[in-house]
Amino acid sequence: MTKPFRFGFQCYTATSGAEWREKARRAEGLGYSSFLLADHYLGPGPALAATGHPVQMVAAVPAMAVAAEATSTIRVGCRVLCIDYRNPVVLAKEMATIDLFSEGRLELGLGAGWLTGEYEAMGVPMDPPGVRIDRLTEVVRVVKATMAGGEVAVEGTAGVRAVGFEGVPKPVQRPHPPIMIGGGARRVLTLAGREADIVSFNFDNRSGTLGPHSFAGSTAAVQEQKLAWVRAGAGDRFADLELEIGGYLTVVTDAGEATAAAMAARFGIEPADLLAHPHALIGSVDTICDELERRRQAYGISYVTVGEAVADAFAPVVERLTGR
């Protein structure tokens, strides 16, 4: 069964509470289904510059709560919360509280962490990828157990422990808010297929930095392999999954081919490959709508997130494909 389109509005910056609330309301008014952050903490400086990642002005958890308070229908969440930055029991309780206070509008995004320079700058130990993914598996168990009811008993082997208590409060969404697991490599996408409600396709970030190599390693051909990893993890539940992706390079323009030709060399790929790139949407409203329909048919991706900078220009796509 083909899933309906949904669109996320991802935002990193605000200089006041009033501005943040207004951005959340704008996303809601434009018809976006979710208002999302990422989970990064470094301000400007050499540590962040070395990672290639932009500044995120506000912390994810309180910003999600304020966005929920300022709106009435849009979902709030994060693509995705780094499980190494918080104790899993604290994380689960914070998320259950946001779901309770938002009356069931939380999307709970979880990831294994990847930005090496951020770990180093904050003094957070960074284990090898396999250990982090093992820990992510255990954190998902804690989240599900604390929200389901009954006494929690999770004794993990990757540093996670939650035993001898019942989780409170209970979320509005039962048995738990939809869990999004994001990543771009085999183990994490297999885990996402097995445990998530929403699979968020990302770059393969094993390098620990963001740059042109990230884009060059995530082409349409690679997306086929990522989809196979999710299928392998999901088995019979694959049809129930919602598949999401970030449109990191979105340009609404009537000169799509010329724009792609001018930008392709920056990412080390051919213009035609850039136009078909799963994380790129370049062209007119008509062209982008047609391309999203094609990708939904090819990959099953029905949930697409774009950044605040292009959200207004992209709004006609949202209206066309969702009827909002």
Cα(140)–Cα(125) distance, integer angstroms: 20
pLDDT tens digits for 276-317?
999 999 999 999 999 999 999 999 999 999 999 999 999 999
Cα(154)–Cα(174) distance, integer angstroms: 20
What is the domain count for the chain?
1
Cα(58)–Cα(94) distance, integer angstroms: 17
Q: What is the DSSP letter of 103?
A: T
Low-confidence ranges of the chain (pLDDT < 70): none
The parent domain of residue 42 ranges over 6-322
Cα(137)–Cα(70) distance, integer angstroms: 33
Amino acid at 154: V
The DSSP-derived string for 78-89 is ES-EEGGGS-HH
CATH (domain of 260): 3.20.20.30
Residue 71 · residue 41 · CB < 8 Å: no
Any domain includes 113? yes
pLDDT tens digits for 229-279?
999 999 999 999 999 999 999 999 999 999 999 999 888 889 999 999 999
What is the reported pTM? 0.96
Cα(256)–Cα(252) distance, integer angstroms: 8
Cα(276)–Cα(287) distance, integer angstroms: 11
Any domain includes 1? no
Instruction: Return all residues near 250 (Cβ < 8 A) that are at least 6 apart.
Output: 280, 281, 282, 306, 307, 310, 314
